[in-house]
Amino acid sequence: MGAASDDGVRVWLVERTYSDDEQNLIILTYATTDGERYFRKERALTSFTDVRDTTAAVDADPDNLGAVDDADLRERYAAEASRMAEVHDHDDVI
């Protein structure tokens, strides 16, 4: 699983998508470097002046992590999370 810290489990950005159901909603998906667990964060784009940085990684509460059951998705998440961890510091703005 991802490295644990005092604040939770470190997960890395693996996917950024726009919601089909609602306008102005971005879905950020972070995953552990083994691809087995994920954390989903939804962010509304309320205005151009609303600045909230998206970082390469976040520390998520273990209780808020979901399991990745699909083997192909787990492999994709693991590859992308590992790549992000290799090329970025956790607090890099993406």
Q: Which residue has the higher pLDDT, 41 or 6?
A: 41
More confident residue, 49 or 9: 9
1 confidence band (pLDDT: 50, 70, 90) = very low
What is the value of pTM for the model shown?
Answer: 0.84
* Per-residue pLDDT at 65 exceeds 50: yes
Q: CB neighbours of 11 closer than 8 A, spacing ≥ 6?
A: 2, 30, 31, 32, 37, 38, 39, 57, 58, 59, 60, 65, 81
Q: Are strands 57-60 and 25-31 parallel, antiparallel or unpaired?
A: unpaired
pLDDT of residue 55 exceeding 90:
yes
Task: Determine the Cα angle at 42 with ends 38 and 44, to 5°.
Answer: 165
3-state secondary structure of 63: helix
